[in-house]
Amino acid sequence: MISTPNAAGIVVVAVALAALCYSTNLSPRSLAKFLRQKAALVAGRGLPDFSQLTGFPHPRPVHDFNIACARPRPYRPFRWEYHQNMSLKRLEPDYWLELEGTYRERISQRRQIYALHGKRVIDELPGSEAASKELMEMVIQYLCLRYPQQFEFDEWTSTFRNHILNSTVNISTVHPLVFLLENVPEDFLITQEDPDTGLYTLRAAVSTSAVGWNISQKIGKPLHEIHGPVPDYKEKMAFSMDRYFSKMPCNKPIQRGSWGLEIGEPLYLQTDEVDWSHRQHQNPNLPLSDIYMRVDWQTLRRLPKSRAIVFNFKALFTPVTDFRNEPFIPKLLLKVLLEGKKVILEYKGTWHIEHKVIPALREWAKEQEDNGWVPKDWQERTLNEDPFYPGWEKHYPIPT
């Protein structure tokens, strides 16, 4: 949201630009691009124009956004044949930070987790401060542009207003990582190049969505050590990822997803907690309705000034019972669970729910074939709509 004086200024500028467009024969597309650039300066005056600095477009604003009703897009990153790789996709400008209906609940959870776990959730090393500040500024500009009714930044007082939470914060006094914790339901991990080795190491982070690991175990480590437990990483991905990080440009951020199957919706779960023991046995009385797919939808982008690379992700939970009404998903996931590489499935920890999920997927896959949703001769493969499924747009309206 922009204050009244700024709004009046925008009107004046827009009229002047329209006249300029008419007199100079600028195309509507060129004018729209110019207006977006100017809107960014107003929305985050006093902040750098990150679209100009990175060469990556600003997001389009959503004016009728209702956080209470907002739903995330239905990410279903199932692939076949299922090999361990990064499966990178280009990031869409409108979906770097995707807000949805659990916003208030997640922010409350994040604060509670930080109060309990401290440096296991937020930590930083010397030399990362400028990158953290730059990331906070980029996030503020994005939020104000994408969700103009929900967020506002006052350049004169350095005040950020969150109208969803009815909160106000002075960004010149708040720690950037705490700001991210309290305003964005995503985790952010900041990596920087080690001048001695040339490898990117984790230098600062806020992470309340970690399952089986925490920041205190990863801080200061290079990529290959951070990903040590990941099957095939050292053999198949370590070299290419180090090279990718060293060459990654600012104007080509990427996105990808990882998934798992969980009992309930564990946001932050450590191996020394009681609930971790659920993964060690199969409960014959476990209701199918208690099983969820967790997707960590991830993005990776380079900051233009500090040159740090930021990895951020958001945990999204979907009842597996939803798959019954999603064409191709039951049959595709069933294939992965039955024939996927054993070491990868063990890493994901799906065994404790397979005795309930596999029979249900078999039933739903046959039901979809009988209903004509899926051809009976369809051979399992990564869907053309990946990471979604055919017809998803009918059930998940895109905010405008």
Residues 36-87: pLDDT tens digits? 545 544 555 679 999 999 999 999 999 989 999 999 999 999 999 866 556 7
Residues in the chain: 400
| Residue 354: Cβ within 10 Å count | 16
Residue pair 95/398 in contact by the 8 Å Cβ criterion: no
Report domain extents, the chain. Answer: 74-389
**Sign of the dihedral through C-alpha 141, 145, 146, 149:** positive
DSSP annotation of 262 reads E
Q: Does the pLDDT value for residue 240 go beyond 90?
A: no
Give the Cα separation of 166 and 150 in Å (integer): 10
Residue type for 188, please? F
Query: Would you say 92 and 299 are in contact if contact means Cβ atoms under 8 Å apart?
Result: no
Which strands form 309-319's sheet, in the order they lie side by side?
89-90, 254-263, 291-302, 309-319, 187-193, 200-206, 122-124
User: How many C-beta neighbours within 10 Å does residue 136 have?
Assistant: 23
pTM here?
A: 0.88
The pLDDT score that the predictor gives to residue 4 is: 45
d(CA 219, CA 204): 7
Nearest to 179 by CA among 95, 218, 122: 122
**Cα 23 from Cα 273, distance rounded (Å):** 68
Is the pLDDT higher at 362 or at 342? Answer: 362
- Please name the residues in contact with 85: beta carbons below 8 A apart, sequence gap of 6 or more: 236, 237
What's the count of helices (H) and strands (E) in the chain, helices before strands?
12, 10
Alpha helices (H) along the chain: 4-24, 28-43, 50-54, 103-117, 129-146, 176-183, 215-218, 223-226, 238-247, 329-339, 342-348, 351-370
Average pLDDT over residues 238-267: 93
Question: What pLDDT sits at residue 20?
Answer: 52
Quick one: pLDDT at residue 398?
Answer: 79
End-to-end CA distance of the chain: 16
The mean-pLDDT minimum among 66-70, 230-234, 369-373 falls in 230-234
3-state DSSP helix/strand/coil % of the chain, to nearest 5: 40, 15, 40
Give per-residue pLDDT as tens, 179-213: 999 999 999 999 999 999 999 999 999 999 999 99
Note the pLDDT of residue 19. 58
d(CA 60, CA 77): 25
